[in-house]
Every structure is written in C-alpha cells, then in structure tokens.
Amino acid sequence: MDMLATRTTWLAIALFFITIVSTKISRWKSNIHHLPTRPLPPVVNVLALLPSVFKKGFGVTINDLYTRYGSVFTINLLGPKITLLVGPDVSAHFFQGLESEISFGNFAEVTVPIFGQEVLYGVDVATRSEQVNFLLDILKPSKLRSLVDPIFQEVEAYFANWGHDGIVDLKHELEQVLMFISSRCLLGYEVRQMMLKEVYSLFHELENGLNFFSYLFPYIPTPTNRRRDKAHNRLKEIFTTTIRSRRSSSRAEEDALQRLMDSKYKDGRSITDGEISGMVMALIFAGKHPSSITSIWTGAFMLSNTKFLIAAMEEQKHILSKYKNQIGYDALLEMDTLNRCIKEAIRMHTPAQMLARKAHKKFKVQTKEGKEYDIPGGHTVVIPTAFNNKLAHVYTDPHVYDPDRFGPGREEDKVGGEYSFTTFGGGRHVCPGMALAYLQIKVIWSHLLRNFELKLISPFPNADLRKMGQEPKGKVMISYKRHQLLHC
C-alpha cells in the first residue's frame, strides 16, 4: 500500500511537470507563429524625392517628410532602405543597442585606409573595444587637468603674435591655434616643435580622403586616395620614430602619445607602434576639425549677439576677481555662460550632421504619439542630428541663438529625455572627446575675451553645405584691439 502510495505520488509529480513543460512548449510554439508584429514605417521612393532635394535642399525635404509621416519613415533607394529616426523619443535603440543588433556596419570602412589596418574598424570587435577604452581613458575629464597649462601656453603664445590692433580671418587663426593645441596635447612636444607644418599638411591630405566618393570606393586608386595613403605612411613613419626615440631615452611625457605607449591589452600584450600611430591619427582626426568649426561659430555668434557677449565678458571679470587673475582648471569649470555660448553654437551648427548605423536585427520604436513600428534588420538607420537640434517640440524658437535655453530652469537639452541633444552622439559610442573639446574652446575664448576687444566685420557667415561638418563659408573677418579685463 505504502509502495502504491509512493508510486502514485511520483506519478502525480511527473504528470504535473510534464503538463507545465508541455504548456510552456506549446506557448512558445504559438509565440513563434504569432510573434507580435507591428507595421513597418511609411516608405517613400527616392525617385519621388529627387525633385524636392534638388529644388529645396536636403534639410527642407527631410522637414517635409517629417511633417507628412512623423518621426519614423523609410526612404527606398531602389532596393536598399534607409530609415530615419527623428527626435529623442525614437532614438534609444540606435544609441544603446548591442553591437550584434545595430552597428557602424561597413560605413566605418572608409576610416581603415585613413587610420590603418591595425586599429579601430580595421580590427575585430573585441580588440576595437579595448582600443576605444584606451582612448576613453586618455580623454577622461580627470586626466584633462594636466593638459590645461600646456593649452594655456599654446594659446597665450599664439595670440602674443597679434599686434596692438588689426584685422584677421578668425577661421584661419582658430584652425591654427587648435592645431598647435592638438599637437602639443596629443602628438607630443617633439612633433609640435620640429615638424608641425609637415604633419599639418599630411593631416589635410587625410581629411581630403574622407569624401562621398571614398565612402563608396575607399580603395580605388584615385589621386585623392593615393595622396591619402602616402600621407598615412609618412605620418606613421613620423610617429614611429618619435615613439622609438622616447622608448630608447626612457623619457616619459604628460601627453596622449605617452599614455597610449603605456597602455596594455587585457591579456598583457603591449600596444604596438603601428597601433599607437593609428590611434593618434584617429584622435587628431576626430577632434581637431569639429573643435575648430565649433570655436569659429562660437565667436561668430557671440560677436553678433551683444547680450551674450556682454554676459560672457562679465563672467570673465567675475572669475578673474574670484581667482585673483589666475585662471586654471577649476576656473574654467565655472565658466557656465561661456560653456552655454559654445553649446548653443554647436546646436545651431552641429559638425556631425547625421549619424548612421546598420540594423542587424529587427527592433521596435514608439513615437511620442504612441505609434509603434518595427524597423527590419538590414535597414540603414539614420539620426539626423542637425535636424533634431532644431525640433520645435524640444527647443523654443529653435532657429534663434539663445544660450540661455541650456541654463537653470530651462535646460532644453534635457526636457525631451536622454537623447534630446546628440551633437556628441550618445550611449555606446558617445564622443569621448567632449570634455577636451569644451576645455580647449573655453581656454581660447576666455583668453580672447579677456585680452581683446573684438568685432565681426564681415557679414555673418553661412554654413558651407558642400563640406561635411557645416563649417562657415568663406572668411570670417574680425577686427581686434588689445584691452585688459584685469581685476584690480
């Protein structure tokens, strides 16, 4: 009897488990056949768009599509599909998705001949992520304190060459000073002292290698691509010589080159000279151009908006008084008004006008109106950053230069959520150089405001739409006269 009871109990337990498992399996099966599917975004054919793009321009065409279809729509390029995600509500997966779900795909291939096969998009994902971590470490805000003195020295030395008064092209001047700063902080003093002119023109050739044609055909031996390859090889030679000379003299410096030289992979392997060269090229490349464009726009906007120019100068006076004329890292961190003037300039003219990824797997987006769409794997996904920066439901009077929009009580870069302001990207690939970019632009503009009376004498510049990065078109002429905003 006892045995029967035990057998019955075991049978009941077994039946119970079989029922649970079979129910789970049948639910799983039915889920497979009835996965919740959502509609795909509205599709527009590229041929239908071309007249509008030619007549009204790309920005106006995107605006028309946004007004008609809302924040998610697909452009069919006669086969390949590009889905645009407009605004912060639909941006999360783009920035946060795993590399296996959404990645740069082959868009970054254009950078391989520029930086070399040994780094970033020339290597596998695991090595790349370690290399990006080396960059993140170098550019950490806590590591930037030691760069402030060298940046100040470069800025003071550069503007000491200006006379008592004069007229200059702000664009040329700021490009030059930023090249000196980048070289000093990132390339090392050897390059800064001895071969800056050559390195500067080699980087120019690398920059020319990034164009729409090379996106499509990065390896075709066009004259531009050949010059790019020659410039890459010469830069690698220069950096390798510098690295070897430092190693043989056991000299250590306080710059990015040194920090890269001291980096080690998780398995204990030291970084090679070729990898260091490639990553230094990537740093200069990623940082110099957007920083100089931003510093020029900051100047053009401040010099055309008396209210904000006066506010920025008053802030300098206050900080000089507080720090007894000694401007250092902590003083720079307190320059909130200047910070907002810079941030608003990058919002108005963002250097990275759109960000792109390849979706490898289907993902869902939900618009602020509550509409849900499935974005299929295989689509190219684009965030139109420049357009997002002018969205009327995120920014009040979006076409007006108004640094106060980022101030206390308004903070328009936050009200739309985490991805309202994506000028520096966001999530997994957020720009690691953001703090350095603000730091160097603040050093330049705080120096100029303290030491010169400045006026914009050419018309306010338009953005050069033929060039990537919305740089100001033509010369930006200013007049200067020395003054001293010293606190007594």
Contact between 187 and ligand HEM (CB under 6 A)? Answer: no
Q: How far is the CB of 402 from ligand HEM (least distance, A)?
A: 19
Distance CA 471, CA 169 (A): 14
Please give the C-alpha separations between residue 151 and each of 38, 181, 193, 196, 457, in angstroms, as whole numbers: 53, 6, 15, 16, 28
Distance CA 251, CA 158 (A): 27
Of positions 148, 199, 319, 431, contacts ligand HEM by CB under 6 A: 431
Q: How far is the CB of 30 from ligand HEM (least distance, A)?
A: 39
Residue 424 or 445 with smaller CB distance to ligand HEM: 424
CB 485 within 8 A of CB 320: yes
Contact between 338 and ligand HEM (CB under 6 A)? Answer: no
Contact between 423 and ligand HEM (CB under 6 A)? Answer: yes
Q: How far is the CB of 488 from ligand HEM (least distance, A)?
A: 35
Query: Using CB under 6 A, which residues numbered 354 to 373 contact ligand HEM?
Result: 355
Which residue number is nearest to ligand HEM in terms of Cβ?
Answer: 433
Q: How far is the CB of 129 from ligand HEM (least distance, A)?
A: 9
According to the 3-state scheme, what is the secondary structure of 354-402?
Answer: CEEEEECCCEEEECCCCCEEEECCCCEEEECHHHHCCCCCCCCCCCCCC
Query: Using CB under 6 A, which residues numbered 112 to 141 contact ligand HEM?
Result: 132, 135, 139
Of positions 116, 122, 209, 287, contacts ligand HEM by CB under 6 A: 287
Contacts of 99 (CB under 8 A, 6+ apart): 125, 428
Q: How far is the CB of 394 from ligand HEM (least distance, A)?
A: 17
Q: What is the radius of gyration, based on Cα positions, of the chain?
A: 27
Q: How far is the CB of 103 from ligand HEM (least distance, A)?
A: 10
Contact between 97 and ligand HEM (CB under 6 A)? Answer: no
Distance CA 364, CA 4 (A): 55
Using CB under 6 A, which of the segments 40-48, 69-77, 80-88, 427-435 binds ligand HEM? 427-435
CB 165 within 8 A of CB 481: yes
Contact between 433 and ligand HEM (CB under 6 A)? Answer: yes
Contact between 341 and ligand HEM (CB under 6 A)? Answer: no
Using CB under 6 A, which of the segments 47-55, 371-379, 396-404, 423-431 binds ligand HEM? 423-431
Find residue 453's DSSP bridge partners: 481
The 8-class DSSP code of residue 42 comes to P
Exposure class string for 325-362: b at 16+ Cβ within 10 A, else e: eebeeebbeebebbbbbbbbbbbbbbbbbebebebbeb
| 488 annotated ligand-binding residue | no
Contact between 472 and ligand HEM (CB under 6 A)? Answer: no
Concatenate the DSSP letters of all residues of 233-266 into one string. Answer: HHHHHHHHHHHHHHHHHT---SSHHHHHHT-B-T
Residue 95 or 480 with smaller CB distance to ligand HEM: 95
Residue type, 94: F
Edge-to-edge strand ranges of the sheet holding 165-169: 165-169, 477-482, 452-456
Using CB under 6 A, which of the segments 11-19, 148-156, 365-373, 426-434 binds ligand HEM? 426-434
Contact between 439 and ligand HEM (CB under 6 A)? Answer: no
Of positions 429, 473, 477, 479, contacts ligand HEM by CB under 6 A: 429
Place of tokens 């330049």: 444
Residues annotated within the binding site for heme are 431
- Residues making contact with ligand HEM (CB under 6 A): 132, 135, 139, 282-283, 286-287, 290-291, 294, 346, 351-352, 355, 423-425, 429, 431-433, 436-437
Residues annotated within the binding site are 431
